[in-house]
Structure 1
Amino acid sequence: MLTSIESGTLLAETFTVIDAVPTPEAQHPRFRATHSSTASEVLITVVPLLAGDLTTLAAISDRLKKLSHPDIQAHLGFWTDARAAYLVDAPIIKMASDPIAKPPTAAQLRRLVAALGYAEALGFHQTGFDLAWLTQAGHQGFVIQHLGWPRWALTSAPHRNPDALAVMNFGDWAYPLYTDVPWQGLDALQAQPPLPAGLTTLISAVQQGTTQTFGALLALIDALDADAASGVVGTGPLQATTFEIATPATSEAAASSILAGSTVATDGPAPSAPPPKSGWEPKTLLIGFALVILAGFIFWVLPDLVGPQNNRQTQVDINPAAADTPTVVTKQAPIATAKAKIIAEQAEALAETFLRKLIALEDLGLALWDPNALAQINQEAMAADDAYRAGEAQTALALYTQLLATVTELEAGLPDRRAENLAQAQQALSEADDRNALKFWEIAAQLNPQKVEVQSTWQAVQQIPTISALMSEADIAERAGQVEAANTILREATALFPDWAPSQKAATRVQQILIRKQFQSSMSLGFTALSEGSYDAAIRAFERATSIDPNASAAQDGLEQVRQAQLKEQIQALFIEAQEAETQGRWLDAKAAYEAARSLAPNLTDLTARIETIDARIALAAALTQILADPARLQSDTELNQARDLAITISQLPPPVGDLQASLPVLTRMLSHARRALTLTLTSDGQTTVTVLRLGQDGRLGQIMETRLTLFPGRYVVTGSRRGYKDVRHELTLSSDTPNPTLTVVCDEPI
């Protein structure tokens, strides 16, 4: 929050930030700002709200505003808002860019101790004094900042002895002021290169407890200066010059470091290939079975088919008429036999290649995505096999060649088919077409066995029938008014297949119904609690409604109504408290209650008039109290006239009157007796000169034995004097309660 304070930021609705003041990192940030009303420049220290008890800061501020010293920064006030608390001080005139010059002159040190002693004498104690709070102003001047505040209000940095008063920390800040070396105790003080004369004595006196206040420390400085002037010390403890201070030599140390958080790359084992599959797969068995059938066909069936042509025996014509003619023998030529054999082998090779491709296509779901082509291929394969068995090798070869071309063409079209199928599958999902989604995603799973995304989607698509059943169940629950149960069922359905639009839409719709129901329930509870005056319960209900629907203005309106109701109740309670105080004449309490109400509702103009009336009653009560406490004041004509006017004013007061009029009888009796003459009898020894002061010439009675004076009620002083004797002085108050007093004035004590 504090880092967001920039130029132009309004603090406590009163001060506008000009810029940030360079501040040591451990200290709370400071800013130059202008007062919105007076346009005067101020210096603001920002205190985090959680730094400590802010009520103590307000009390300290009230006292510090009364402290005035040329070397101490003037404090103007204490403000807070939702962001932080603010210590507002007067700006430092001609502030130098650096703290006080080191080492300071003796005159500067004495001036600093004198300023701290002045604040200490007035009851402002500084704990954990820090040199950072000492700012040089001009050439020789300086300003002590932040005097009187607890350390936590100024910095988050720890301190060696934060609870000790500044005089007890004198060594902590005076020693480094002259040496630039942290204070390490008295032992280090003795080992330190020569300090300015007298400084060791001052630090030792404080650390050993013989000097416990800044006043005593200042007296010690003056005493040392006096001794130096008389030649006791010789060089003077603290002369008004700077000193050459030897600083300890620094030693170099070498160290090696490793960057924290750096990482070392290690070579892990390369991912291994998946283990070989064991056992016989269905595809392998199918291929093997087909090859066995083909081999049996070649070795057992085919020889029988071609045997009658390739191995013809000699035929004899048994016609008797031709018995004498020679026998003619016909036999297959070797070349023809070899050619037939070659054609058969080619047919077998084509059949094997065709069969392998067909099995691969069937594994990719040929029966699903092109069943007609599969049926046609099967028919043509049967015809090719029939031709082969019939010994028509050339025909079989042509048919196998055609079959191979067909499956090769199907194989070549697989990429386009995969793309087309995935488009159809995605379209089915987008259109929520459950039948086609099941159909095309099953084909997609067959065509893309290695694609994990396709396989996972197919697994989810298979849940569509289950999802449809759950949606029907949820619809029944919703119709029965069981919205919570329907919402639970639909959440289960959407978990099975999150991308299935129908279940998602149904779940969203039911969830909205449930949210509206919960929202309306919370709002009803909130307004019920509000009407019953249960504000905490109403706030909880409206906040719950806000969490259900953050964008609903009705919930915010409900919270605002609660706040207004609480405010109204607080103001009414303060009015009752103020009126009771008015009745009892406790005017200060009444004013405090009205001011508290005005802070809650600044727009209530009636409160200002009431407070002004109370201020008038306070003034009347104070004047009346003074007169009643000291009736002799009426001896003065001016006081008497004012008392008469006061009595008239009180007697004519409109409400509130309090107890003012209850004292009127006493005041009236005092006024009636104020000018009633009383007789004072004075006796003496005839040798003492008697004088009644404040009566002028009439009061010089001379040497009397006895005389009577007629005087108005009031205070009188009677003196007596006689040569060779001590004078006497008598003070007496004449009142109607003692109408005829007697006083003896005799000087009887020899000098």
Structure 2
Amino acid sequence: MKSPQAQPLEPTPFELAPPSPAAEPPPPAGAPRWLWPALGALLLAALLVVFWLPQRVTPPEAEPGTVATPSPAHTPAQGGSSQAVEEDSPWADAQTAKLRREAREVLEQLLAVQFELDEHGAEQWAGEAYSSAIAAARQGDEDYRENRFVAAREAYASALQQLEAIRADLPAAGERQLAAVGEAIDSNALDAARSALDIARLIDPDAGAIPALEQRLQQLPRVNELQEGAAAAEASGDLAAAEAALAEAAQLDPAHPRVQAQLQRVTAAYRDLQFNQAMSEGYRALDSADYSAARAAFQRAAGLREGSDEATSALAELAVAEQSGRLGRLKSRGAQQEQDEHWSDAVTAYEQALALDASVVFAREGLARAQRRAALDKGLQDIVDNPGRLSDVAVAEAAGKLLAQGRGIDNPGPRLRGQVETIDTLLRKANTPVTVTLHSDGQTEVLIYRTARLGRFQQRQLDLRPGSYTVRGSRVGYRDVLVTLEVSADQAPAPVTVACSERIL
């Protein structure tokens, strides 16, 4: 909207009367008698038009001390003078009219530019430049009213030049105004942003940045509210709430630099807090030998601060502590298995310890000890579980050697003592012969596998070691017979008959 002061005053248009026609030559001889009076009247009318009429229609006289005289180049002079004003002439009037027209032509251009700038709100953003141009235009108006048309034209031309410079600056002014809108929004200055956006619309209503700025301005009240809430939450130590508020504000206005900076700062502070909490939690778990919880805490800390030396060192410390703890547990387990005489389980425990650290002394020594005892235990238990095999002299001799090893163990446990006692009893019985009576028909060849070939007999007694024996009888033309003979050290077996009685057809 234009202010009353911004509208220059227009001088009243004025045009000189046309110069009088030159006196006509006398009529040729023979002209009518009425022609001469008519020519005289025309001459008088021309004189009135040239000399009397301009004095009735020309503007008021110039200010005192101002004389409108032609210059040496036949241009009327302007300015103060103590001499009397020369009497107007048609030539001077024509020059004055010409100068007036020139001033008005410049004024028309000036007004066109001014009206264009007023539509773009130049008075609100051009500042002193616009005021200076308007002041020059007003000076031109004053000169025009005082018939100083040259000065008026120059003043109008100066104002026009200034306004054209302002018009040429329109694109840059639009950019500056849009930047001012953004700066006001970034400074959370809601009223200033609204005023600046109104001016930006006047300068260039079709500017591409305006819709985005309008959207940011629309969100600014909520963004300001969220920033205030974040500040209060941060002051109270609730960094999680502060981060959430700033994250929402950043989502509403991603281009707000202050919100982004605050969000980055608060997020970093919150991450530091979470990092420190995770590290403390991890070390507490480590001190309690809760390695799973310690690992989870340290890994969470490493995720919060990528490349953190503290988290890396803590995880390495955890690995050492965890391995040491596992080795300690395996050592205790192996010792307990040895005490319980579960030698194969002890071997497994020590092998697992060596898999973690092959240099561990307790595991190397424990494995060798447990393997020897495991082999002895297996051999002794096999004799206990299969006492019938002691009927074989070789087996009995091997059992005797194992028994000697068992007896050589210091501080034997209950299992070993029981095995030694059992095998000792079994060997004594196995080494004590039992008299066995066999009957036959005198025609059958009798053989005790892996013991003796008895041949043909009616009755035979022999001493056998306790155990299980297989007796075979064979006779030509008859089917062989097999008899299992169980010899017990506790009780003599009943007589056994071995005879082939079934003919082969």
Normalised by the length of structure 1, the TM-score is: 0.46
1:679 deviates by 1.9
Alpha-carbon distance in 1 for matches of 2:383, 2:126 = 120
1:520 deviates by 1.8
1:368 deviates by 6.6
Aligned residue for 2:302? 546
Aligned residue for 2:152? 396
Residue 703 (str. 1) matches residue 419 (str. 2) = no
Cα–Cα, structure 1 residues 290 and 609, in superposed 2: closer, same or farther, change >3 Å?
A: same
Tell me if the contact between 1:583 and 1:659 (Cα under 8 Å) persists in the aligned partners. no
Tell me if the contact between 1:369 and 1:443 (Cα under 8 Å) persists in the aligned partners. no
- Amino acid in the other structure paired with 1:298: P
**CA deviation string 1:647-706 (max 9, x = no partner):** 01112235785723312122112222343333222333455455556566xx545333x3
1:387 to 143, 146, 152: 143
The SS at the match of 1:676 is coil
Aligned residue for 1:273? none
Cα–Cα, structure 1 residues 347 and 576, in superposed 2: closer, same or farther, change >3 Å?
A: same
Report percent identity of matched pairs: 28
Aligned pairs (5 A) from 1:65-80: none
The SS at the match of 1:298 is coil
The SS at the match of 2:496 is strand
Tell me if the contact between 1:519 and 1:548 (Cα under 8 Å) persists in the aligned partners. yes
Residue 749 (str. 1) matches residue 502 (str. 2) = yes
Cα–Cα, structure 1 residues 678 and 490, in superposed 2: closer, same or farther, change >3 Å?
A: closer
Aligned residue for 1:202? none
Alpha-carbon distance in 2 for matches of 1:632, 1:449 = 113
Tell me if the contact between 1:684 and 1:703 (Cα under 8 Å) persists in the aligned partners. yes
Alpha-carbon distance in 1 for matches of 2:390, 2:165 = 132
The SS at the match of 2:274 is helix
Cα–Cα, structure 1 residues 664 and 362, in superposed 2: closer, same or farther, change >3 Å?
A: same
Aligned residue for 1:294? 10
**CA deviation string 1:232-289 (max 9, x = no partner):** xxxxxxxxxxxxxxxxxxxxxxxxxxxxxxxxxxxxxxxxxxxxxxxxxx47x999x9
Tell me if the contact between 2:124 and 2:199 (Cα under 8 Å) persists in the aligned partners. no
Cα–Cα, structure 1 residues 455 and 381, in superposed 2: closer, same or farther, change >3 Å?
A: farther
Alpha-carbon distance in 1 for matches of 2:476, 2:218 = 133
1:350 deviates by 1.4
Aligned residue for 2:489? 736
Residue 675 (str. 1) matches residue 431 (str. 2) = yes
Name the stretch that deviates more: 720-729 or 379-388: 720-729
1:640 deviates by 3.0
Alpha-carbon distance in 1 for matches of 2:451, 2:156 = 156
Alpha-carbon distance in 2 for matches of 1:450, 1:468 = 28
1:516 deviates by 1.6
Gapped regions of structure 2 (runs ≥ 5): 15-50, 58-85
Alpha-carbon distance in 2 for matches of 1:611, 1:357 = 105
Tell me if the contact between 1:582 and 1:656 (Cα under 8 Å) persists in the aligned partners. no
1:598 deviates by 4.9
**CA deviation string 1:49-105 (max 9, x = no partner):** xxxxxxxxxxxxxxxxxxxxxxxxxxxxxxxxxxxxxxxxxxxxxxxxxxxxxxxxx
Alpha-carbon distance in 2 for matches of 1:546, 1:613 = 44
- Amino acid in the other structure paired with 2:13: I
Aligned residue for 1:514? 270
Tell me if the contact between 1:311 and 1:331 (Cα under 8 Å) persists in the aligned partners. no
1:652 to 408, 433, 440: 408
The SS at the match of 1:709 is strand
Alpha-carbon distance in 2 for matches of 1:543, 1:393 = 89
- Amino acid in the other structure paired with 2:155: L
Cα–Cα, structure 1 residues 353 and 615, in superposed 2: closer, same or farther, change >3 Å?
A: same
Alpha-carbon distance in 1 for matches of 2:322, 2:297 = 16
Alpha-carbon distance in 1 for matches of 2:106, 2:52 = 26
Cα–Cα, structure 1 residues 521 and 309, in superposed 2: closer, same or farther, change >3 Å?
A: farther
**CA deviation string 1:133-190 (max 9, x = no partner):** xxxxxxxxxxxxxxxxxxxxxxxxxxxxxxxxxxxxxxxxxxxxxxxxxxxxxxxxxx
Aligned pairs (5 A) from 1:312-711: 312=56, 337-361=93-117, 371-409=127-165, 411=167, 445=200, 451-453=207-209, 478-479=234-235, 481-484=237-240, 487=243, 504-532=260-288, 537-559=293-315, 582=338, 585-596=341-352, 598-599=354-355, 604=360, 606-654=362-410, 659-690=415-446, 699-700=453-454, 702-704=456-458, 706-711=459-464
Tell me if the contact between 2:130 and 2:166 (Cα under 8 Å) persists in the aligned partners. no
- Amino acid in the other structure paired with 1:551: G
Q: Which has the larger radius of gyration?
A: 2
Alpha-carbon distance in 2 for matches of 1:600, 1:308 = 131
1:385 deviates by 1.2
How many equivalent pairs are there?
A: 431
**Which protein is richer in helix relative to its size?**
2
The SS at the match of 2:138 is helix
1:739 deviates by 3.9
Cα–Cα, structure 1 residues 475 and 584, in superposed 2: closer, same or farther, change >3 Å?
A: closer
Aligned pairs (5 A) from 1:238-317: 282=1, 294=10, 297-298=12-13, 310-312=54-56
1:646 deviates by 0.4
Tell me if the contact between 1:312 and 1:332 (Cα under 8 Å) persists in the aligned partners. no
- Amino acid in the other structure paired with 2:431: R
- Amino acid in the other structure paired with 1:355: L
Cα–Cα, structure 1 residues 574 and 309, in superposed 2: closer, same or farther, change >3 Å?
A: farther
Cα–Cα, structure 1 residues 708 and 546, in superposed 2: closer, same or farther, change >3 Å?
A: same
- Amino acid in the other structure paired with 1:749: E
Tell me if the contact between 1:598 and 1:604 (Cα under 8 Å) persists in the aligned partners. yes
**CA deviation string 1:317-350 (max 9, x = no partner):** xxxxxxxxxxxxx996666555544433332221
Cα–Cα, structure 1 residues 556 and 735, in superposed 2: closer, same or farther, change >3 Å?
A: same
